[in-house]
Amino acid sequence: MALELFDSKSQELRVFTPLATGHVEMYVCGPTVQSEPHLGHLRSALVYDILKRWLEASDYTVTLVRNVTDIDDKVLVNAGDRDWREFAKEVEATFDDAYEKLGILEPTHKPHATEHIQDMIDLVSKLIKLGHAYQAEDSSANVFFDTASWPSYGELTNQKLENMEGETDASHGRRSPNDFALFKAHKPEEPDSAAWKTPWGLARPGWHIECSAMSKHFLGESFDIHGGGLDLRFPHHENELAQSRAAGDDFANFWLHNALVTINGNKMSKSLGNGVSVEDLTKAGSWGAIRYWLLSAQYRSNLDYSETSIRDAQAALDRITGFLKRTTETRRIEIDYNFIPQEFRAAMDSDLNVPGALAVIHERVRAGNTAFDSNDQEALKLCVEQVKAMVSALGLTFAYQEPLYSEEFSKQVEDLIQKRHEAKLAKDFARADQIRVEIEGLGVTLKDMKDITMWSFNG
């Protein structure tokens, strides 16, 4: 079965074929570092982490670009009297910390908006030359995209320009309320460090232009997948698409948008006071449980949070990790994706149906526990390899890793097991029992099977 993804531009499932054989290029809108991360940020980053992992498990190499918006109206406002650059770095560090603890892989590139001002200037200059952008009519350094000049504007969200609601304030030299800012003129009350020299005067970039400029810098004029939260579809992604296409770039071949996180059925919002912090989540369960819960709904479905969400996820995850910790096979770190069952592949290839994939894992866990209890060594080994491969594909490996112990400790246990085996062959059962007690005194649990004795460390 070929991988199918829901392209939110064409509004249909499409078979995914990369532009370059064997290699996938992705651009994902990362955080605006104005305040600490919330559930929505974590979910969005995790969705595209899963996509990257699944593509790699399917033998693709992947280049993932996830940007950081480190200059923005709210960054400047929330920084207050502090240096906005230091403020932005500190907030970014909270995102990095949460991503790392959640098991989200580092992107191939993590560009910052402030590092690519010249790329943005070049792109805006080209748009002006082509007649799709203009400097403000009040001669300020404001520069706007001329939406009326681009007949395809609205193609991502299937809207007509005349039906769209634009900016309520059509001032600052904007010709139309629908025209959006490419560069914003420096304001006297803003710090001098938040402005750059441009052909139009001192200014800082608008929100939308940065992603077009940075994706082109790293991925070129066309790439495979553009991802982000559903709340970015309009106006952010609509504007990205318009300005890039107007500049002559093909831009993204697929558009993916993950749905939102709700709280007890209601939209999560700071204004409603129902936000859930990362600290609140970690009080309810482990980072593995948080990751598991964030994966528990298909990415295009809203994910609802309640007081029991993480606790329930922890219980489900414990059933998986409990099985893996029963066997010595967890001591081997090698993962062979050839062991992934076809049912799991079918679920993941069906627009990343992770809930369906999790169901396959739990089915194999049940089968593995049955094999363990009945001393069916061959069936157990197969289930262990399958579960390990599936868990790895979902990035949940860190949730079951046992405490580290030295090779010397492992050799000590294996030697004692061998001596116990020799004692049993010699029918010296008293000696065999004595060795078993010695092994258990090291914090090790033994499981005698048909042809092998398996052990696990309880530390």
Tens of pLDDT, residues 142-190? 999 999 999 999 999 999 988 887 655 556 788 999 999 999 999 999 9
Check if the beta carbon of residue 341 is closer than 8 Å to that of residue 384.
no
One domain for residues 220 and 197: yes
Q: How far apart are CA 40 and CA 375, in angstroms?
A: 45
The tokens of 19 are what? Answer: 């532009």
> 288: domain CATH number?
1.20.120.640
Please, which residues have CB within 8 angstroms of residue 360's CB and are 6 or more apart in sequence? 341, 343, 344, 347, 390
One domain for residues 67 and 105: yes
Boundaries of domain holding 234: 4-258
One domain for residues 150 and 247: yes
One domain for residues 346 and 430: no
Angle at 287 (CA atoms; ends 286, 288), nearest 5 degrees:
85
One domain for residues 78 and 200: yes
One domain for residues 275 and 198: no
> Where a domain ends, among 355, 381, 399?
399
pLDDT digits (tens, 9 = 90+) for 357-375: 999 999 999 999 999 888 8
Q: What is the pLDDT of residue 455?
A: 74
Q: How many domains does the chain have?
A: 3
One domain for residues 87 and 186: yes
Tens-binned pLDDT, residue by residue, of the chain (459 aa): 799 999 999 999 999 999 999 999 999 999 999 999 988 899 999 999 999 999 999 999 999 999 999 999 999 999 999 999 999 999 999 999 999 999 999 999 999 999 999 999 999 999 999 999 999 977 789 999 999 999 999 999 999 988 887 655 556 788 999 999 999 999 999 999 999 999 999 999 999 999 999 999 999 999 999 999 999 999 999 999 999 999 999 999 999 999 999 888 887 766 666 777 777 788 888 899 999 999 999 999 999 998 899 999 999 999 998 888 777 544 555 788 999 999 999 999 999 999 999 999 999 999 999 998 888 889 998 999 999 999 999 999 876 654 445 567 777 888 898 899 899 889 998 998 999 998 888 877 787 876 677 776 665
One domain for residues 428 and 390: no
Exposure string of 88-116, with b = 16+ CB inside 10 Å and e = fewer, is beebbeebbebbebbbbbebbeebbbbeb
One domain for residues 134 and 217: yes
> Where a domain ends, among 207, 235, 258?
258
Q: What is the pLDDT of residue 210?
A: 97
The tokens of 271 are what? Answer: 């204004």
> Where a domain ends, among 234, 258, 282?
258
Its pTM stands at 0.86
> 166: domain CATH number?
3.40.50.620
One domain for residues 58 and 174: yes
One domain for residues 98 and 240: yes
Q: What is the pLDDT of residue 180?
A: 95
One domain for residues 129 and 43: yes
